[in-house]
Structure 1
Amino acid sequence: MGSLLFGYDTGIVNGSLVFIADKSQLDLNAFQQGIVSSGLTLGAAFGAIFGGPLADKIGRKKILTILGIVFSIGALGCAFSTNIAILIVFRFLLGLAVGSASANVPVYIAEIAPSELRGKMVTTAQVMIVTGQFVAFGVNAALTPLGSGNAAIWRWMLGLGTIPAIVLWLGMYLVPESPRWLVSQGKIDKALNVLRRIRAAAVVDPEMKEIKDKDAQDKAESAEQATFKELVSTKWILQILITGSVLGLIQQFAGINSIMYYGGQIISDSGFSTTTAALLNTGNGLFSIVGAVLGMFTIDWLGRKKLEFAGLTICGLALVAAGVIHTAFASASWAGITIVILVYVYIIFFQGTLGPVTWLINSEIFPQRYRGIGTGVTIFVLWLGNFFVGLLSPVLLQWNMAYTFYIFAACCVFGIIFVAARVPETKGVPLEEIEKYFRNKYDK
């Protein structure tokens, strides 16, 4: 539910903005629409960087319970907003919850899951994010026809996010605390009781020993955790930080969230009615799920760098083709549906390559001592990139949709050059060897 809410609250704006902007409602211009949309992602940047440390203090279960409450308040606040200022405040509040969920949901799943199922269970978080977007697009498609006589339908679109939020809020009372967090707090008996509840009896004692040993190791290392000053002053570590941060910006400026947030507008501008656009827009969510599932099964097979190259190349070509058709063949009967198909192709390849690979590479390139603070900074930068894409996309699309596609395609070309020059292949490479690569290249 935490990941689904991540997807729902970022995706629901796709179909609701056209009604929020209506003169009978909040009467927003293109830039104000961008602020409403991107207010959430700005909040997410801060939620991501502060959510992890807060969970370390109060516990995984408690933070996710609190997030359920925040998601509920945020959704209701958005639904009952009477002006743009109130709406932005509650979108920012939702963003704090989204960012914190993006940091804490995978951690909780990883800490609670059996080791043999951990990889697939953690990856379900990514699948549920795009499922949440699919649900949002489905809600938009179902409610958009009602908007022809009642522009206030956007309040229902935003407010329905309360339902999964309440499920998260109340559902967290039924699940156990992370045994690993309990051990880190010295609550050994409670951790043992949790393991007895969720594991076969034969594995409880061995797993408890493993958790206690790892906790002792982490505490021994925590005294040596790096500071931000050291992160930016150590030459080769700074280069890793730059590499990870730019990868996050490339992921965002390849244009995915322009399509996921404003797909309905893009399809409408391709020649379809608002109702038809809302229906076709559900394909964006469906093909996101397809791409995410494909990514689960190819990321350890084809390798990180190959997938980055493939994603950037095909996404860039799809954007250029859509831009050319929109410019040169706009009057052709086949133009609109062809652009929609190209958008679907773009989404499948993005969600199967650039989406998951960027997160994975960032988790692999930092040495252990710098991993926590380093990935925190790169995730913050990624969310800031998301914020600017969401903020500027309505203005760019209103200016010229084809040129907007070309700008994102140019970012894909830059991405190909950057990955070729700066990113090592990390598939099957020990983390120590990755560290050695950056030391040898930049520590001179």
Structure 2
Amino acid sequence: MDVSEKNENSKNNHAGFLWLATIIVTMGSLLFGYDTGVVNGSLEFMAQKGQLNLTAFQQGIVSSGLTLGAAFGAIIGGPLADKIGRKKILTILGIIFAVGALGCAFATNISVLIGFRFILGLAVGSASANVPVYIAEVAPTELRGKMVTTAQVMIVTGQFVAFGVNAALTPLGAQNAAIWRWMLGLGTIPGIILWLGMYLIPESPRWLVSQGKMDKALGVLRKIRAAASVDSELEDIKEKDRADKEQNAEQATFKELVSKRWVVQILITGSMLGIIQQFAGINSIMYYGGKIIQESGFNTTVAAILNAGNGFLSIVGAVLGMFTIDWLGRRKLEFAGLTICGITLVTAGVIHSTAPDASWAGITIVILVYLYIIFFQGTLGPVTWLINSEIFPQRYRGIGTGITIFVLWIGNFVVGLLSPVLIEWNMSNTFYIFAACCVLGIIFVALRVPETKGVPLEDVEKYFRNKYDR
């Protein structure tokens, strides 16, 4: 075997190890999806008398308590990881996910359940911030894109797994309504995989360099890179670390951010994109899809099976989005997503209000929901996150994106809290409300959001300066 063959085999071995590390770390992303999606089927049982006897508003609190925790977890998780390390924070998150799932499963009343859901939310928010960062910091350049986007695919996979678990266990609920405890408790398994799996994978070499631990960083690079590239990559990391520290020394404060009109306008634009994404109604469907399908005329068991399609089609949409986002452009995808989502919501509302008893009505509404999910997950889902990462200049990017992500999670919280009340009140009107939000979103994007595809970030900054700095 010659030198080139040895190098190629070494490269393949390292890539295999890194993919293993990626799968372990993205258990955090899978749990993000599982813990947000599992209430979709479990609420039906925990709401029953003899269980937790929940009202529609209390169901909203149980569901949205997690997303409220996630809003704060997203803010806390990043700085904490910078302080204690990526590996340690992800290990801790594995423990929290496992313990939180058990706490929910054994909850004796709604207060205990909400408390553990909030704790799980802290882990979900922190995972949403830290999983992509860890992967980006250990992945080689040629694999970074695929490995980082694995996190997004695993989120929707987690929702699909949750819906599948609900569909499998729902028939057992006819004899034992406490089946919801198993639905929630099974989230312990990927939590344990994340917790124990983190002992098998290394700390981020970039974090080690940032802490001045050069020998340990060198040791990690020798495990995850071919020998020929280790020294040069370590020097590159050191150089980038020096540059980052110089930039971070000049990172803006919140006071400075709000003192500049053009930066405030960027903040408003990014925050509104998060609100638009959430009030287009996606998480009303992802959290309460089973309830929506039941309202369309199906029994609990059939609804759980059909609802599993929501999770599968979310994966399909997310994968399609990966391949179109750099082809069609951000604004086109936003317009297309908001338009198609709005049309499907209005059509479903009209059918539900005018022909609720027609034999074809129920399955037609389900098909419309499926179309909605595919287009949302391929457009509004990924585009919102991408535009937010592109519109802030370097000096304001950290604090700016932190605020916009917090606002997005608060929007998620509000939708999750109010959706069961709205659906119980009038499902058709609920569809119309979210469709109206899609229309308002189209107007906002047309007036406020620039196309960022292929545009240097410096030119994006100039757009906002020229438009608002007067």
* TM superposition score normalised by structure 1: 1.00
Q: Secondary structure at the match of 1:211?
A: helix
CA distance in 1, matches of 2:259, 2:194: 41
Q: Look up the match of 1:147.
A: 173
Q: Look up the match of 1:104.
A: 130
Displacement of 1:50 in angstroms is 0.8
Counterpart among 255, 267, 277 of residue 229 in structure 1: 255
Counterpart among 363, 374, 379 of residue 405 in structure 2: 379
CA distance in 2, matches of 1:177, 1:299: 31
Structure 2: 5+ residue stretches without partners: 1-26
Displacement of 1:307 in angstroms is 0.3
Question: Cα deviations across residues 364-405 of structure 1 (Å, max 9, x unaligned)?
Answer: 000001111100000000000000000000000000001000
Which moved further from structure 2: 283-292 or 328-337?
A: 328-337
Q: Look up the match of 1:399.
A: 425
- Supply the RMSD in Å over aligned alpha carbons: 0.5
CA distance in 1, matches of 2:381, 2:273: 11
CA distance in 2, matches of 1:258, 1:429: 34
Asked if residue 413 in structure 1 is aligned to residue 439 in structure 2, the reply is: yes
Q: Look up the match of 1:253.
A: 279
CA distance in 2, matches of 1:132, 1:253: 22
Displacement of 1:223 in angstroms is 1.3
Instruction: Spell out the pairing of 1:343-354 with structure 2 (5 A cutoff).
Output: 343-354=369-380
Q: Look up the match of 2:458.
A: 432
CA distance in 2, matches of 1:80, 1:197: 41
Asked if residue 243 in structure 1 is aligned to residue 269 in structure 2, the reply is: yes
Displacement of 1:116 in angstroms is 1.1
Question: Cα deviations across residues 45-95 of structure 1 (Å, max 9, x unaligned)?
Answer: 000011000000000000000000000111000000000000000000000
CA distance in 2, matches of 1:46, 1:11: 19
* TM superposition score normalised by structure 2: 0.94
In structure 1, give the amino acid aligned to 2:290: G
Question: Cα deviations across residues 181-202 of structure 1 (Å, max 9, x unaligned)?
Answer: 0000001111111111001111
Asked if residue 389 in structure 1 is aligned to residue 424 in structure 2, the reply is: no
CA distance in 1, matches of 2:234, 2:465: 36
CA distance in 2, matches of 1:419, 1:207: 41
Counterpart among 286, 299, 322 of residue 273 in structure 1: 299
Asked if residue 443 in structure 1 is aligned to residue 469 in structure 2, the reply is: yes
Displacement of 1:210 in angstroms is 1.0
Question: Cα deviations across residues 146-170 of structure 1 (Å, max 9, x unaligned)?
Answer: 0001000000000000000000000
Q: Look up the match of 1:370.
A: 396
In structure 2, give the amino acid aligned to 1:223: A
Asked if residue 137 in structure 1 is aligned to residue 145 in structure 2, the reply is: no
In structure 2, give the amino acid aligned to 1:317: I
Q: Secondary structure at the match of 2:327?
A: coil
Q: Look up the match of 1:315.
A: 341
Q: How many residues align?
A: 444
Question: Cα deviations across residues 112-155 of structure 1 (Å, max 9, x unaligned)?
Answer: 11111111111111100000000000000000000001000000
In structure 1, give the amino acid aligned to 2:61: I
Q: Secondary structure at the match of 1:175?
A: coil
Structure 1 segments, 4+ long, off by >4 Å, are: none
Question: Cα deviations across residues 210-242 of structure 1 (Å, max 9, x unaligned)?
Answer: 111000001111111101111111110000000
Question: Cα deviations across residues 9-31 of structure 1 (Å, max 9, x unaligned)?
Answer: 00000000010100110000000
In structure 2, give the amino acid aligned to 1:167: I
CA distance in 2, matches of 1:120, 1:298: 14
Instruction: Spell out the pairing of 1:33-182 with structure 2 (5 A cutoff).
Output: 33-182=59-208
Q: Look up the match of 2:231.
A: 205
Counterpart among 313, 332, 336 of residue 362 in structure 2: 336
